[in-house]
């Protein structure tokens, strides 16, 4: 038994991928070209260079026990790393070599599985309610629709060439346990006049600039699932933004179009699709034997190869459609009679498996974070491990914490789904005492339900070091003050966010380095925290998260100043100016030691060149301790936000005057020594020099061996420039660049 049909094109895809791997390993193609093809195949490079992760598509999390045994056997040949279950119900194999990914791909194909579309600008794994088939509120089982739609979409060539990732989800009831309302396209099961169908949501998403999906249709018959999907995919393919990957998801198309035009585009496309008379999905429904289930909590979503093999061997005699993964990164066993499930639970416990998720410490989820992900800022998995010990005191015998979910993301990209957690955290960074500090933004009150989904509200930011203590205090407050039968969302509304803001305030303070240096290290890491190390090595994408952080912080200071007394108001306004000034410095390769230096650097590098000189007065008043009015700080921040929006994909800003940049001598090369400068600052500094040059000028830079020499030339070529010479001299590299734009 399999849960989807592999497309006929997969053989050719694997053959082409194998050729590309061989060309990459032989040096015939560069890393960037290799990346462009391997990522849509579901293969990501981890933080350790030339070490890869493969993401296996499991529609609705469904997998047979035999397939689980096969995966454990296949992965065990090539890696000792545990299998990992994601918050989108996929399964990942970690820490394999590029050469081995080909062998793994072929072996997965033999058991009816594939990683194709596990990454890149593709139709991703279709997710569904983890309780499908046994949810007491379920209208009908949505699993057959997920299977059928998956098989149809992965056979279509345009599913692999979209402007950006395209995520689809199904839910079986109004509780929206499949998260349909926060995906690009979502279906929630309905009955109308005795007919099966769905309410349809679109343009939702939880990444940067998140959005709850709009209700596209109140009801559509079950025979329209493919037509609706085809129509939405078509408008995304036709009108999506392919130039700016940070503004390319379907929700941005909706925001740019406006509600009326987006609906008009859908309506037009939907009619055209229906006129083509595509065959409806072939739904193969198999009634379940039982509504009972058993959940196996997995720490960090990980299960060792040995554990996976043992679990599979226990389950294989029980049947095929009995196993799935959930968005909470656990394993669910279902569709077994009560007596058989009881016996199975005893067997699993004897074998060392935990069962049930009554403890709050078993209901925390976290993304991979900076431990393996190239986009991660903070070590979210390490935070989860550190927080669990402080949560063991909450046995939850009263039931007051039963409905609470805790979700952690290592950056704003929301792979840990922090936006919909009862309590959510996402990683950030801040400069203090001349050093970088790992931080987390704190979210409260996320909720998922049809027509009542909402993201949590950000109540502030605290050092990573203080997260477990704050989390314990929030849970204790909940246990003490929550009423019987009251859900957490209603509890937050009754108490008011100010109560939680007050709890957070005492955890905001960052001591100076000499006072307590532990705040400058991430959890369970013996290396001092560094922003540069946490930014993506192959591009400057991580810069945006840091810029947004400083801008949001400036807005927060301005808001607080409005209700503060005179002395405090003046300090808050100065804090707002300093945060605003800090925001864009990283685009120039500048890392100030303190706020005073940040304001000075911003004044010297931005006013008169990218910003009107009138803002220089505000900055000068900060530097000399003069008075700054609220209006002046707001105007400066507004100008910085406008400038940020005008920044192009190469981190360049429009100039408002004739160049104030340094004049260069075009008769020969310009030399810059960037040895000792870490990624991505070396690339940013290179870009800064190239901005001052004319087309055809030559720039020679010196770089350290390793990641700098590997990443900077590739990034420079991606900007459109030419690499004239690239050679190793002793322990460093000489790179000669011809400006070509």
Three-state DSSP string of 263-319: HHHHHHHHHHHHHCCCCCCCCCCCCCCCCCEEEECCHHHEECHHHHHHHHHHHHHHC
pLDDT at 266 exceeding the cut of 80 = yes
The CA-atom distances, in angstroms, between 699 and each of 459, 587, 716, 740 are 47, 19, 11, 11
Would 358 be classed as within a structural domain? no
Average pLDDT for 487-498 = 93
Residue 166 belongs to what domain range? 135-275
166 conformational bin, left if phi > 0, alpha if psi -120 to 50, beta if neither: beta
| pLDDT at residue 156 in the model | 95
Cα separation, 95 vs 533, whole angstroms: 20
| CATH code where residue 106 lies | 3.90.480.20
For residues 82 and 309, the answer to whether their CB atoms sit within 8 Å is no
pLDDT confidence band for 280 (50 / 70 / 90): very high
| pLDDT at residue 660 in the model | 34
Q: Each residue of 81-105: b (16+ CB within 10 Å) or e?
A: bbbbbbbbbbbbbbbbebebbbebb
Query: What 3 state SS string does 137-169 have?
Result: CCCCCCHHHHHHHHHHHCCCHHHHCCCCCECEE
Percentage of residues of the chain with pLDDT beyond 70: 95
Q: Do 501 and 573 have their domain in common?
A: no
Closest of 204, 195, 142 to residue 171, by C-alpha: 142
Would 525 be classed as within a structural domain? no
Q: How many CA atoms lie within 13 A of 584 on its CB side?
A: 28
Would 529 be classed as within a structural domain? no
Average pLDDT for 640-666 = 63
Would 425 be classed as within a structural domain? yes
Closest of 738, 371, 373, 705 to residue 537, by C-alpha: 373
Q: Do 549 and 494 have their domain in common?
A: no
List, for residues 38-89, the tens digit of each pLDDT value.
999 999 999 888 999 999 999 999 999 999 999 999 999 999 999 999 999 9
Q: Do 57 and 177 have their domain in common?
A: no
> Per mean pLDDT, which range of 429-433, 662-666, 708-712 is the poorest?
662-666
Query: What 3 state SS string does 493-558 have?
Result: HHHCHHHHHHHHHCCCCCCCCCCCHHHHECCCCCCECCHHHHCCCCCCCHHHHHHHHHHHHHHHHH
Query: What 3 state SS string does 470-486 have?
Result: HHHHHHHHHHHHCCCCC
Cα separation, 87 vs 68, whole angstroms: 18
Task: Please tell me whether residue 737 adopts helix, strand or coil conformation.
Answer: strand
Average pLDDT for 17-25 = 95
More confident residue, 530 or 573: 573
| pLDDT at residue 680 in the model | 80
Cα separation, 655 vs 652, whole angstroms: 9
Cα separation, 128 vs 188, whole angstroms: 10
Average pLDDT for 423-433 = 91
Cβ-in-10-Å burial (0-12, 13-18, 19+) of 352 comes to: exposed
Cα separation, 461 vs 429, whole angstroms: 10
| pLDDT at residue 1 in the model | 87
pLDDT at 212 exceeding the cut of 60 = yes
Q: Of 486, 520, 554, which marks where a domain is finished?
A: 520
| pLDDT at residue 678 in the model | 79
For tokens 């431990």, the residue is: 371
Q: Do 383 and 509 have their domain in common?
A: yes
Q: Do 260 and 399 have their domain in common?
A: no
Q: Which two tokens stand for residue 213?
A: 């999906």
List, for residues 449-480, the tens digit of each pLDDT value.
999 999 999 999 999 999 999 999 999 999 89
Give the end-to-end CA distance of the chain in Å, rounded to a whole number: 55
- Please count the structural domains in the chain: 5
Q: Do 390 and 514 have their domain in common?
A: yes
| pLDDT at residue 682 in the model | 84
The CA-atom distances, in angstroms, between 327 and each of 48, 116, 405 are 26, 20, 12
List, for residues 313-355, the tens digit of each pLDDT value.
999 999 999 999 999 999 999 999 999 999 999 999 999 999 9
Q: If you ran DSSP here, which 8-state letter would residue 248 be given?
A: -
pLDDT confidence band for 397 (50 / 70 / 90): low
pLDDT confidence band for 37 (50 / 70 / 90): confident
The number of beta carbons lying within 10 Å of the beta carbon of residue 631 is 10
What pTM does this model have?
0.75
Sign of CA dihedral 155, 160, 162, 165: positive
| pLDDT at residue 130 in the model | 97
**Chain-centre distance of CA 717, in angstroms?**
27
| pLDDT at residue 542 in the model | 42
More confident residue, 173 or 208: 173
Helices (H), 133-258: 143-153, 225-239, 250-257
- Across-strand partners of 424? 407, 443
Percentage of residues of the chain with pLDDT beyond 90: 66
pLDDT at 657 exceeding the cut of 60 = no
Would 195 be classed as within a structural domain? yes
Q: Do 504 and 544 have their domain in common?
A: no
Closest of 314, 279, 468, 317 to residue 391, by C-alpha: 468
The CA R_g of the chain, rounded to the nearest whole Å, is: 27
Q: Do 499 and 408 have their domain in common?
A: yes
| pLDDT at residue 38 in the model | 93
| CATH code where residue 638 lies | 1.20.120
List, for residues 109-142, the tens digit of each pLDDT value.
999 999 999 998 999 999 999 999 999 999 999 9
Average pLDDT for 541-559 = 77
List, for residues 524-534, the tens digit of each pLDDT value.
999 999 865 54
> What is the helix, strand, coil percentage profile of the chain, to 5?
45, 20, 40
Average pLDDT for 229-247 = 89
Average pLDDT, the chain: 90
Helix, strand counts (H, E) of the chain: 22, 22
For residues 207 and 484, the answer to whether their CB atoms sit within 8 Å is no
Q: If you ran DSSP here, which 8-state letter would residue 123 be given?
A: B
Q: Do 564 and 639 have their domain in common?
A: yes
The CA-atom distances, in angstroms, between 278 and each of 229, 273, 281, 288 are 12, 8, 9, 30
| CATH code where residue 686 lies | 3.30.110.40
| pLDDT at residue 544 in the model | 65
Closest of 239, 316, 321 to residue 287, by C-alpha: 321
Task: Please tell me whether residue 186 adopts helix, strand or coil conformation.
Answer: strand
Q: Of 646, 662, 681, which marks where a domain is finished?
A: 646
Q: Do 439 and 469 have their domain in common?
A: yes
Cα separation, 640 vs 610, whole angstroms: 9
Would 307 be classed as within a structural domain? no
List, for residues 660-688, the tens digit of each pLDDT value.
333 333 335 787 878 878 778 788 888 87
| pLDDT at residue 505 in the model | 95
| CATH code where residue 256 lies | 3.30.413.10
Average pLDDT for 693-707 = 86
Would 569 be classed as within a structural domain? yes
- Most confident of the ranges 76-85, 621-630, 713-722: 76-85
- Across-strand partners of 198? 189, 220
Q: How many CA atoms lie within 13 A of 646 on its CB side?
A: 12
Q: Do 377 and 447 have their domain in common?
A: yes
Q: Which two tokens stand for residue 293?
A: 């289930």
For residues 344 and 307, the answer to whether their CB atoms sit within 8 Å is no
pLDDT confidence band for 541 (50 / 70 / 90): very low
For residues 148 and 3, the answer to whether their CB atoms sit within 8 Å is no
Sign of CA dihedral 503, 508, 513, 515: negative
Q: Do 385 and 450 have their domain in common?
A: yes
Would 1 be classed as within a structural domain? no
The number of beta carbons lying within 10 Å of the beta carbon of residue 389 is 10
Cβ-in-10-Å burial (0-12, 13-18, 19+) of 642 comes to: exposed
Q: Which two tokens stand for residue 15?
A: 């053959």
Q: Of 520, 550, 565, which marks where a domain is finished?
A: 520
């Amino acid at each position: 038994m399999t849960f989807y049909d592999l497309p006929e094109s997969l053989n050719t895809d694997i053959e082409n991928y194998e050729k590309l791997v061989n060309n990459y390993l032989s040096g015939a193609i560069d890393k960037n070209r290799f990346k462009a093809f391997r990522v849509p195949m579901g293969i990501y490079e981890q933080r350790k260079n030339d070490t890869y992760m493969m993401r296996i598509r499991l529609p609705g999390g469904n997998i047979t026990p035999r397939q689980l045994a096969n995966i454990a056997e296949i992965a065990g040949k090539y890696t000792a790393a545990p299998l990992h279950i994601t918050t989108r119900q996929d399964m990942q194999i970690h820490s394999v070599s590029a050469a081995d990914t080909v062998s793994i791909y072929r072996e997965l194909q033999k058991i009816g599985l594939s990683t194709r579309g596990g990454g890149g600008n593709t139709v991703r794994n279709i997710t569904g309610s983890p309780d499908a088939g046994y949810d007491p509120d379920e209208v009908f089982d949505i699993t057959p629709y997920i299977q059928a739609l998956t098989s149809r979409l992965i056979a279509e060539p345009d599913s692999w060439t979209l402007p950006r990732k395209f995520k689809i989800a199904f839910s079986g009831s109004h509780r929206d346990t499949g998260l349909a309302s926060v995906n690009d396209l979502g279906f929630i099961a309905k009955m109308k006049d005795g007919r099966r169908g769905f309410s349809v949501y679109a343009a939702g998403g939880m990444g940067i600039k998140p959005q709850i999906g709009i209700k596209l249709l109140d009801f559509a018959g079950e025979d329209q699932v493919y037509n609706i999907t085809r129509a939405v995919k078509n408008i995304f393919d036709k009108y999506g933004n392919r130039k700016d990957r940070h503004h390319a998801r379907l929700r941005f198309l909706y925001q740019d179009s406006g509600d009326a035009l987006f609906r008009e585009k859908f309506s037009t496309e939907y009619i055209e699709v229906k006129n083509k008379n595509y065959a409806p999905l072939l739904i193969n429904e198999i009634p379940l034997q039982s509504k009972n289930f058993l959940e196996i909590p997995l720490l960090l979503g990980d299960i060792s190869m040995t554990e996976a093999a043992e679990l599979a061997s226990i389950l294989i005699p029980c049947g095929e459609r009995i196993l799935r993964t959930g968005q909470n990164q656990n394993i669910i066993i279902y569709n077994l009679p009560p007596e058989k499930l009881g016996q199975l639970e005893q067997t699993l416990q004897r074998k060392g498996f935990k069962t049930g998720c009554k403890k709050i410490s078993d209901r925390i989820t976290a993304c991979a974070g900076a431990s393996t992900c190239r986009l991660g800022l903070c070590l979210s998995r390490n935070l989860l491990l550190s927080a669990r010990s402080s949560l063991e005191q909450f046995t939850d015998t009263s039931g007051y914490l039963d409905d609470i979910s805790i979700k952690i993301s290592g950056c704003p990209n929301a792979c840990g789904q922090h936006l919909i957690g009862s309590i959510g955290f996402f990683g950030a960074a801040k400069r203090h005492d001349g050093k970088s500090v790992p931080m987390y933004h704190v979210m409260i009150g996320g909720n998922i339900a049809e027509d009542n989904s909402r993201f949590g509200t950000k109540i502030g930011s605290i050092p990573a070091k203080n997260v477990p203590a704050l989390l314990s205090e929030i849970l204790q407050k909940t246990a003490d003050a929550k009423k019987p039968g009251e859900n957490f969302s209603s509890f937050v509304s009754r108490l008011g966010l100010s109560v939680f803001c007050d709890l957070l305030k005492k955890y905001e303070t960052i001591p100076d380095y000499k006072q307590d240096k532990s705040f400058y290290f991430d959890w369970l890491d013996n290396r001092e925290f560094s922003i540069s190390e946490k930014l993506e090595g192959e591009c400057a994408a991580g810069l945006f998260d840091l810029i947004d952080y400083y801008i949001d912080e400036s807005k927060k200071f301005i808001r607080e100043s409005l209700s503060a007394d005179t002395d405090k108001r003046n300090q808050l306004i100065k804090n707002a100016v300093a945060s605003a000034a800090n925001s864009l410095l990283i685009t120039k390769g500048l890392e100030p030691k303190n706020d005073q230096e940040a304001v000075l650097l911003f004044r010297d590098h931005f006013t008169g060149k990218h910003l009107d000189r009138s803002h220089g007065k505000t900055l000068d008043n900060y530097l000399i301790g003069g008075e700054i009015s609220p209006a002046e700080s707001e105007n400066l921040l507004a100008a910085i936000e406008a400038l940020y929006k005008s920044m192009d994909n190469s981190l360049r800003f429009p100039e408002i005057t004739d160049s104030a940049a340094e004049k260069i001598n075009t008769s020969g090369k310009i030399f810059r020594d960037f040895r000792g400068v870490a990624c991505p600052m070396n690339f940013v500094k290179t870009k800064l020099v190239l901005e001052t040059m004319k087309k055809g000028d030559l720039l020679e830079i010196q770089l350290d061996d390793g990641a700098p020499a590997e990443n900077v030339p590739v990034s420079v070529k991606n900007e459109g420039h030419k690499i004239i010479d690239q050679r190793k001299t002793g322990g460093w590299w000489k790179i000669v660049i011809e400006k070509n734009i």
